[in-house]
């Protein structure tokens, strides 16, 4: 239902001016207050009680986006705190996952109920909202929350401990143990002016992921083995990234994290479907080398590739020569565009900018450089390691390593099939 429709409904329910209600409603929604929560808060403001009967008790697996509000008894699996700006004020919200024997559901608590992982609670009159096609619960001012003495047994791990390979953007209240591989201090324009944050790379036995610490802490130094409690996962350039807030606790581990040198090898189709990966190895056949490969020109201002001397942002520019490969890698489960920067391109071309310019001059066509690269790569099998992003520009693997695979394709296919069958 649109803001317009909700405003109309509210105004007629409460017997007040529609324009006034709509303005309030738009205001709340613009501060990211979920629609149901906004409607409830306006009902309170204008003196109307909550509409309808007491919500019925529901099993989590039976909650649908058609439910307005429900009463559930559930175990708190995770409870991650986060501070957001709400109507100009800082507000602390708690987000996580609730479970019963029939399923799990994400929740957001807009009040400080004191939820902790492991608690069994009954939430009366919890609002249901839709997120990405799925129902989620809002626990707000009109929710009655009771802590139950008896623990509800659920077929899920309590506490949100996970390895880095298993996290997904949107996860909240997680605990990870990882080594800090890289860290740097950056100054950003925050909502309260310039502020310092930390960013870098974490690693464990399973994967490497970028991280951001929005409240820089001294424990986070290069080489430190740390336990991070209460982190949340956001998407960063198409791949998950670990975020530490003011509510995250960071402690030093007395064990040493084993960090693998290699990247996890995945099937192309599976890696693309997962939405991206910070560091991954994909193996497949190069089936094509795309236009825009070989000798190219970049805008000196922004580094974008220029076409016929034109930059999309800077108009007519004096392009600077560079080398690049955009190659399509196919393993039978899917395709990605592997992007090789200057150094890797130099290796596969067998020469640098000078050689490329020379070849282009002789042929009076710079496309010959891409042709040479095409002849070398197409039809051969490569292992490409890099950072995979999947967005409106497609599935792109920014390569950090690029190596021909010697194993015959049939054996590779068999190994991949065995992995799928696992
Ligand atoms: Zn430019």
> Do 141 and 80 share a domain, yes or no?
yes
Q: In DSSP terms, which residues pair with 325 in a beta bridge? A: 340
Neighbours of 409 (CB within 10 A): 14
Q: What is the mean pLDDT of the chain?
A: 89
Distance separating alpha carbons of residues 173 and 242, to the nearest angstrom: 11
Report how far ligand 1's centroid is from the alpha carbon of 317 (Å): 8
Range from 137-151, 161-175, 234-248 that averages highest in pLDDT: 137-151
Residues, Cβ < 5 Å to ion ligand 1? 299, 301-302, 311, 313-314
Least confident of 163-172, 213-222, 348-357: 163-172
Confidence at residue 50, expressed as pLDDT on a 0 to 100 scale: 47
Report how far ligand 1's centroid is from the alpha carbon of 218 (Å): 38
Report how far ligand 1's centroid is from the alpha carbon of 301 (Å): 5
In-domain check, residue 129? yes
Report how far ligand 1's centroid is from the alpha carbon of 309 (Å): 10
| 369 has a pLDDT exceeding 60 | yes
Confidence at residue 168, expressed as pLDDT on a 0 to 100 scale: 86
Confidence at residue 411, expressed as pLDDT on a 0 to 100 scale: 64
Distance separating alpha carbons of residues 71 and 62, to the nearest angstrom: 12
Structure tokens at 344: 């890797």
Confidence at residue 315, expressed as pLDDT on a 0 to 100 scale: 93
Give the pLDDT band (50/70/90) at residue 116. very high
**Residues spanned by the domain of 108:** 60-147
| 330 has a pLDDT exceeding 50 | yes
| 422 has a pLDDT exceeding 80 | no
Report how far ligand 1's centroid is from the alpha carbon of 310 (Å): 8
Report how far ligand 1's centroid is from the alpha carbon of 334 (Å): 32
Give the pLDDT band (50/70/90) at residue 274. confident
Helical ranges in 274-352 per DSSP H: 342-349
| 346 has a pLDDT exceeding 80 | yes
Out of 147, 182, 214, a domain closes at 147
> Do 126 and 248 share a domain, yes or no?
no
Mean local confidence (pLDDT), 356-378: 96
Confidence at residue 10, expressed as pLDDT on a 0 to 100 scale: 79
CB of 225 within 8 A of CB of 179?
Answer: yes
- How many distinct structural domains can be found in the chain? 4
Report how far ligand 1's centroid is from the alpha carbon of 128 (Å): 46
Confidence at residue 49, expressed as pLDDT on a 0 to 100 scale: 45
Report how far ligand 1's centroid is from the alpha carbon of 316 (Å): 9
Report how far ligand 1's centroid is from the alpha carbon of 306 (Å): 8
Confidence at residue 421, expressed as pLDDT on a 0 to 100 scale: 60
> Do 269 and 248 share a domain, yes or no?
no
Structure tokens at 187: 């100054």
Structure tokens at 16: 């007040």
pLDDT (tens digit per residue) in 67-105? 889 999 999 999 998 888 777 788 899 999 999 999 999
> Do 105 and 230 share a domain, yes or no?
no
Prediction pTM value: 0.66
> Do 248 and 269 share a domain, yes or no?
no
Confidence at residue 28, expressed as pLDDT on a 0 to 100 scale: 83
Backbone CA torsion sign across 348, 351, 357, 362: negative
Q: What is the CATH number for 359?
A: 2.40.50.140
Report how far ligand 1's centroid is from the alpha carbon of 318 (Å): 10
CA atoms within 13 A on the CB side of 116: 3
Distance separating alpha carbons of residues 62 and 64, to the nearest angstrom: 6
> Do 222 and 247 share a domain, yes or no?
yes
In-domain check, residue 368? yes
In-domain check, residue 92? yes
State whether residue 266 is helix, strand or coil.
strand
> Do 273 and 378 share a domain, yes or no?
yes
| Spatial CB neighbours of 417, under 8 Å, sequence gap ≥ 6 | none
Least confident of 37-51, 218-232, 333-347, 350-364: 37-51
In-domain check, residue 55? no
In-domain check, residue 258? no
> Do 417 and 345 share a domain, yes or no?
yes
More confident of the two residues 413 and 272: 272
Distance separating alpha carbons of residues 141 and 145, to the nearest angstrom: 10
Report how far ligand 1's centroid is from the alpha carbon of 315 (Å): 7
In-domain check, residue 207? yes
Report how far ligand 1's centroid is from the alpha carbon of 71 (Å): 55
> Do 125 and 232 share a domain, yes or no?
no
Write the CA distances from 233 to 82, 243, 246, 286, 297, integer angstroms: 12, 6, 15, 33, 37
Distance separating alpha carbons of residues 378 and 401, to the nearest angstrom: 17
Mean local confidence (pLDDT), 254-276: 89
CB of 307 within 8 A of CB of 299?
Answer: no
Least confident of 6-10, 180-184, 218-222, 356-360: 6-10
Report how far ligand 1's centroid is from the alpha carbon of 378 (Å): 31
| Spatial CB neighbours of 362, under 8 Å, sequence gap ≥ 6 | none
> Do 193 and 339 share a domain, yes or no?
no
Q: Specify the length of the chain in residues.
A: 422
> Do 132 and 73 share a domain, yes or no?
yes
Mean local confidence (pLDDT), 178-204: 91
> Do 288 and 223 share a domain, yes or no?
no
């Amino acid at each position: 239902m649109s803001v317009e429709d909700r405003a109309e409904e509210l105004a007629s329910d409460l017997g007040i001016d529609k324009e006034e209600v709509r303005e309030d409603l738009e205001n709340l929604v613009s501060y990211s207050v979920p629609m149901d929560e906004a409607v409830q808060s306006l009902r309170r403001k204008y003196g109307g009680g909550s509409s309808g009967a007491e919500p019925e008790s529901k099993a989590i697996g039976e909650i649908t986006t058609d439910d307005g509000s429900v009463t559930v008894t559930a175990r708190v699996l995770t409870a991650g705190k986060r501070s957001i700006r709400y109507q100009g004020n800082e507000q602390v919200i708690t987000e996580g996952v609730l479970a019963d024997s029939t399923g799990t559901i994400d929740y957001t608590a807009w009040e400080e109920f004191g939820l902790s992982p492991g608690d069994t609670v009954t939430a009366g009159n919890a609002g249901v909202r839709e997120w990405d096609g799925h129902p989620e619960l809002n626990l707000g001012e009109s929710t009655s929350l009771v802590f139950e003495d008896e623990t509800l047994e659920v077929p899920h791990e309590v506490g949100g401990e996970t390895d880095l390979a298993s996290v997904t953007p949107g996860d909240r209240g997680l605990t990870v143990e990882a080594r800090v591989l890289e860290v740097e201090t950056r100054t950003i324009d925050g909502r309260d002016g310039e502020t310092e944050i930390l960013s870098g790379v974490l690693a464990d036995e399973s994967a490497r992921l970028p991280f951001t610490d929005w409240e820089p802490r001294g424990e986070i130094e290069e080489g430190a083995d740390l336990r991070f409690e209460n982190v949340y996962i956001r998407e960063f350039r198409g791949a998950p990234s670990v975020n530490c807030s003011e509510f995250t606790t960071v402690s030093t581990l007395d064990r040493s994290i084993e960090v693998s040198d290699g990247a996890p090898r995945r099937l192309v189709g599976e890696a693309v479907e997962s939405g991206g990966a910070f560091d991954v190895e994909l193996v497949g056949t190069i089936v094509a080398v795309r236009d825009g490969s070989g000798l190219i020109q970049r805008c000196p201002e922004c580094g974008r590739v220029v076409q016929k001397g034109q930059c999309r942002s800077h108009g007519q520019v004096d392009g600077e020569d560079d080398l690049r490969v955009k190659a399509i890698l196919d393993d039978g489960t899917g395709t990605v565009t592997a992007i090789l920067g200057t150094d890797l391109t130099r290796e596969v071309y067998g020469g640098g900018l000078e050689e490329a310019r020379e070849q282009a001059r002789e042929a009076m066509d710079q496309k010959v450089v891409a042709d040479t690269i095409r002849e070398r790569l197409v039809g051969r099998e490569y292992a490409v390691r890099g950072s995979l992003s999947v967005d409106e520009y497609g599935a792109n693997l920014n390569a950090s390593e690029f190596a021909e695979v010697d194993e015959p394709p049939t054996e590779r296919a068999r190994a991949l099939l065995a992995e799928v069958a696992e």
